[in-house]
């Protein structure tokens, strides 16, 4: 996902001389080609995220389009007031690019994990939040961010994110993508954890459970239509996010459901439940440790459907 | 003024009159609204007068000109000083001043760039306007522009870490088109800085951060005109002007009295304000 972002930024910079790459001493090596070809348009702020964001806002006020990049939680939390007052309040055309979203920097521990960033970014007026699930979507999201005039938070995993999309598709800001049709229940997910959901859906399908899988690449503005439709056409909804269930995608979906009077729908938010990411290990091990593996998803789907077992004939074939 | 005075001297007299006039307008605006940071505004009004009537290359009729000089009031709470100057320069109608702080006004307790013509950045939270100005100066350098960016900071504001992050960055980027002016009145909201968290040795701090530093009397218009005109002091270095000022300047009971950071004068005190600033029987409005 990181390389997808960088190669897209490179292409964008070729056609728009106002695009600037800002970093806070992170990713300096991967920017080599950009630095070489766009002298002066790569600015390393050193380890000072807050300064990078305020300066980015000042640059934007003069017509520049800064893409300010560093590890997601340093950016969103350390520079939060700068993002609020200098970028959002003043409607500055600054792109906040957070790398390593979720706990993809697995063994570095919770200081380097970003599992509350959606919650804090989405309360900010003017902010648009893009959360791509794979490299192709990261390309599309980066292009979309460049074309939006105003603040965007681009939430990226890091390198080695597996593919979700096998072929090209239409990416529209604010519109979710139905990756798999299904009518027993719906999974709504965002970011690189969508890959885990795809595997879970495959396994559930073999067990005779038809799961609709929806990828929400735009957290804000949220696609109300696709959520309400899922509620009307399926028996249960499970949200999955590599993020706290407080304030994240699950909360967004819950708000939509409640306001659309879908409150009796069987609903569950899967993610970090009021905890920081637990343990160390590789990314896959972290998913297991934090209850976000394929098996956890399969288990949650069955728990949810147990509530509706009487009306779901296929689920009786499967023991939890 | 006499015709025999040299042209520069006539300009001096004009600007002195202007500073006096704007100060009166500012105090009337604050008193009529019943709120505003009066001592902080008195501390900077002379600096703003010089900037807007002698230094800045700006045109109220072409306020979005990309080649214009920029000014950012990083200490946004002293905004009434900026409002009266911008109104007087014609960025917006003077009638707006009577609405300051009131329902439906464009003029609030901190300046809003999206509401007020001529305001370059929405400031208020301290430690933001200065780095924002650094971005403007950097943009100028990237585009080979010749405009200058002036930012006015409070001394108390320099307790914010963001000031020093930006200071370090600006000198590394060799932003000699950036001029930071410190309103060094030695007081903050609750007391003297030296009794809270001292900035001293202040000049040495800025020099250590790679800035070229000058000190002036922040109420001496002549000194201010001259110092602004000599920026950049040194090629490749950002410029820091420590303006020694007096919070509450010109109002006898307010000078050097931290108590007045946000307080408004009562009727008896209003009589003294009127007398000190030559406002005549302005105090009668509050009877």
DSSP A217: -
Domain residue ranges in chain B = 11-286
Residue A255 tokens, joined: 């708000």
Best of B71, B116, B139, B157 to disrupt the A interface (most A CBs within 10 Å) is B139
Three-state DSSP class for residue B88: helix
Residue B63 touches partner A, C-beta closer than 8 Å:
no
Residue A86 touches partner B, C-beta closer than 8 Å:
yes
Average the pLDDT over B83-100 and give the result: 97
pLDDT of residue A123: 98
Can you give the pTM of this predicted structure?
0.94
> Does A292 score more than 70 pLDDT?
yes
CATH topology assigned to domain A177-312: Rossmann fold (3.40.50)
Q: At what angle do helices B7-33 and B267-277 cross, to 10 degrees?
A: 170
The shortest C-alpha distance from A57 to chain B (Å) reads: 6
pLDDT of residue B82: 98
pLDDT of residue B268: 94
Whether residue B232 contacts residue B239, with contact meaning beta carbons closer than 8 Å, is answered with yes
Query: Which residues of chain A are in CATH 3.40.50.920 domains?
Result: 177-312
The shortest C-alpha distance from B64 to chain A (Å) reads: 10
The shortest C-alpha distance from A10 to chain B (Å) reads: 18
Residue A64 touches partner B, C-beta closer than 8 Å:
yes
Task: Tell which residue, A273, A291, A265, A246, has the closest CA to residue A186.
Answer: A265
Three-state DSSP class for residue A172: coil
Question: Could you tell me which residues come within 8 angstroms of residue A13 by beta carbon, excluding any fewer than 6 positions away?
Answer: A19, A21, A34, A38, A41
pLDDT of residue A265: 77
Secondary-structure class of domain A2-155 per CATH: alpha beta
pLDDT tens across B255-265, in order? 988 888 888 99
Residues in chain A with CB shorter than 8 Å from the CB of B166 are: 51, 54-55
Residue B266: count of CB within 10 angstroms of its CB:
9
Given the structure tokens 């930071």, which residue do they identify? Answer: B180
CB contact under 8 A, A55 and B138: yes
CB contact under 8 A, B165 and A50: yes
pLDDT of residue A29: 75
Q: Tell which wins on pLDDT, A141 or B3.
A: A141
pLDDT tens across A84-122, in order? 999 999 999 999 999 999 999 999 999 999 999 999 999
Residue A231 touches partner B, C-beta closer than 8 Å:
no
Percentage of residues of chain B with pLDDT beyond 90: 91
Q: What is the distance in angstroms between the CA of the first residue and the CA of the last residue of chain B?
A: 37
- From CA B184, how far away is CA B24, in angstroms rounded? 22
pLDDT tens across B259-287, in order? 888 889 999 999 999 999 999 999 999 98
Banded pLDDT at A310 (limits 50, 70, 90): very low
| Backbone φ and ψ of A46, nearest 5° | 70, -165
CATH topology assigned to domain B11-286: Rossmann fold (3.40.50)
Beta bridge partners, A236, equal A266
| Backbone φ and ψ of B184, nearest 5° | -90, 75
Average pLDDT score, chain A: 93
Residue A74 touches partner B, C-beta closer than 8 Å:
no
Task: Tell which residue, B202, B222, B95, has the closest CA to residue B157.
Answer: B202
Examine the predicted complex and report whether its ipTM is higher than 0.90.
yes
Partner-chain residue, chosen from A51, A59, A81, that has the shortest CB–CB distance to B139: A59
Residue B113 touches partner A, C-beta closer than 8 Å:
yes
pLDDT of residue A316: 41
Q: Which residue of A has its CA nearest to B68?
A: A62
Beta bridge partners, B153, equal B182
Banded pLDDT at A315 (limits 50, 70, 90): very low
* CA distances, A103 to each of A27, A78, A112, B105, B190 (Å): 18, 18, 8, 47, 43
Residues in chain B with CB shorter than 8 Å from the CB of A81 are: 125, 128
- From CA A73, how far away is CA A77, in angstroms rounded? 6
- From CA B44, how far away is CA B39, in angstroms rounded? 9
Partner-chain residue, chosen from B122, B143, B162, that has the shortest CB–CB distance to A51: B162
Residue A272: count of CB within 10 angstroms of its CB:
23
* CA distances, A58 to each of A248, B13, B112, B131 (Å): 30, 36, 15, 8
Residue B199 tokens, joined: 């900035």
Residues in chain A with CB shorter than 8 Å from the CB of B121 are: 58, 61, 86, 90
CB contact under 8 A, B128 and A59: no
Q: Which residues in A16-50 are b (16+ Cβ under 10 Å) and which e?
A: eebbbbbbbebbeebbeebbeebeebbbbbeebbb
Among A25-29, A65-69, A81-85, whose mean pLDDT is lowest? A25-29
pLDDT tens across B200-220, in order? 999 999 999 999 999 999 999
pLDDT of residue A313: 40
Task: Tell which residue, B165, B148, B133, has the closest CA to residue A55.
Answer: B133
pLDDT of residue B263: 87
Partner-chain residue, chosen from A48, A62, A81, that has the shortest CB–CB distance to B136: A62
Banded pLDDT at B1 (limits 50, 70, 90): very low
pLDDT of residue A31: 87
pLDDT of residue A26: 87
Question: Could you tell me which residues come within 8 angstroms of residue B142 by beta carbon, excluding any fewer than 6 positions away?
Answer: A20, A40, A41, A64
The shortest C-alpha distance from B98 to chain A (Å) reads: 25
pLDDT of residue A320: 35
Residues in chain B with CB shorter than 8 Å from the CB of A82 are: 128, 131, 162
Residue A46 touches partner B, C-beta closer than 8 Å:
yes
Three-state DSSP class for residue B10: helix
pLDDT of residue B11: 61
Residue B136 touches partner A, C-beta closer than 8 Å:
yes
Task: Tell which residue, A3, A52, A286, A304, has the closest CA to residue A156.
Answer: A3
Residue B142: count of CB within 10 angstroms of its CB:
18
CB contact under 8 A, B135 and A43: no
Residues in chain A with CB shorter than 8 Å from the CB of B128 are: 54, 81-82, 85-86
CB contact under 8 A, A54 and B120: no
Best of A54, A89, A125 to disrupt the B interface (most B CBs within 10 Å) is A54
pLDDT of residue B259: 87
Query: Which residues of chain A are in CATH 3.40.50.970 domains?
Result: 2-155
DSSP strands (E only) in chain A: 19-23, 42-44, 65-71, 95-99, 128-130, 152-155, 177-180, 185-189, 211-215, 218-220, 236-244, 266-272
Task: Tell which residue, A10, A26, A46, has the closest CA to residue A98.
Answer: A26
pLDDT tens across B40-49, in order? 999 999 999 9
């Amino acid at each position: 996902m990181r390389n997808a972002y960088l190669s897209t930024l490179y292409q964008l910079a070729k056609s728009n001389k106002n695009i600037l790459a800002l970093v806070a001493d992170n990713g300096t090596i991967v920017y080599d080609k950009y630095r070489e070809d766009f002298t002066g348009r790569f600015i390393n702020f050193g380890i000072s995220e807050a300064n990078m964001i305020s300066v980015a806002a000042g640059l934007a006020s003069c017509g520049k389009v800064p893409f300010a990049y560093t590890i997601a939680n340093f950016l969103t939390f350390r520079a939060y007031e700068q993002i609020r007052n200098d970028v959002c309040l003043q409607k500055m055309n600054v792109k906040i690019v957070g790398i390593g979203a979720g706990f993809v920097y697995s063994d570095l521990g919770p200081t380097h994990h970003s599992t509350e960033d959606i919650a804090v970014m989405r309360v900010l007026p003017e902010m648009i939040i893009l959360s791509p699930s794979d490299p192709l979507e990261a390309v599309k999201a980066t292009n979309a961010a460049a074309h939006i005039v105003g603040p965007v938070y681009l939430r990226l995993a890091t390198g080695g994110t597996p593919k979700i999309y096998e072929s090209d598709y239409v990416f529209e800001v604010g519109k979710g993508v139905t990756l798999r049709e299904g009518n027993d229940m719906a999974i709504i997910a965002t970011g690189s954890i969508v890959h885990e959901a795809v595997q879970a859906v495959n396994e559930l399908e073999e067990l005779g459970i038809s799961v609709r899988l929806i990828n929400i690449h735009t957290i804000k503005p949220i696609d109300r239509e696709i959520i309400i439709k899922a509620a009307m056409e399926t028996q249960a909804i499970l949200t999955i996010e590599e993020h706290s269930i407080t304030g994240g995608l699950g909360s967004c979906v819950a708000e939509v459901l409640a306001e659309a009077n879908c409150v009796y729908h069987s609903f569950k938010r899967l993610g970090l439940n009021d905890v920081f990411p637990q343990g160390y290990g590789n990314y896959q091990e972290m998913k297991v440790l934090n209850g976000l593996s394929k098996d956890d998803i399969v288990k949650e789907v069955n728990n949810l459907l147990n509530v509706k077992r009487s009306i779901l004939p296929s689920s009786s074939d499967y023991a939890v | 003024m006499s015709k025999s005075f040299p042209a520069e001297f006539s300009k001096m007299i004009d600007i002195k009159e202007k500073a006096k006039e704007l100060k009166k307008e500012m105090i009337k605006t604050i008193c009529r609204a019943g709120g505003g940071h009066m001592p902080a505004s008195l501390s900077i009004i002379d600096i703003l007068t010089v900037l807007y009537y002698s230094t800045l290359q700006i045109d109220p009729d072409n306020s979005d000109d990309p080649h214009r000089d920029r000014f950012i009031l990083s200490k946004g709470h002293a905004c009434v000083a900026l409002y009266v100057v911008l109104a007087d320069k014609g960025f917006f109608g003077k009638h707006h001043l009577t609405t300051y702080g009131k329902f439906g006004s464009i003029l609030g307790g901190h300046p809003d760039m999206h509401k007020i013509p001529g305001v370059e950045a929405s400031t208020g939270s301290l430690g933001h306007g200065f780095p924002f100005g650094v971005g403007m100066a950097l943009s100028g350098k990237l585009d080979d522009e010749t405009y200058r960016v002036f930012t006015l900071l409070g001394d108390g504001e320099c307790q914010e870490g963001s000031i020093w992050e930006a200071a370090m960055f600006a000198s590394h980027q060799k932003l000699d088109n950036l001029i930071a002016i410190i309103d060094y009145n030695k007081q903050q909201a609750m007391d003297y800085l030296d009794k809270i968290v001292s900035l001293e040795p202040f000049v040495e701090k800025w020099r250590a951060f790679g800035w070229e530093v000058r000190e002036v009397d922040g109420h001496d218009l002549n000194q201010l005109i001259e110092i602004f005109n000599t920026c950049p002091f040194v090629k490749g270095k950002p410029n820091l002007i420590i303006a020694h000022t007096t919070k509450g300047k010109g109002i006898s009971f307010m000078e050097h009295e931290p108590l007045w950071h946000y307080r408004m004068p009562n009727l008896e005190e209003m009589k003294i304000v009127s007398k000190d600033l030559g406002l005549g029987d302005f105090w009668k409005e509050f009877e």
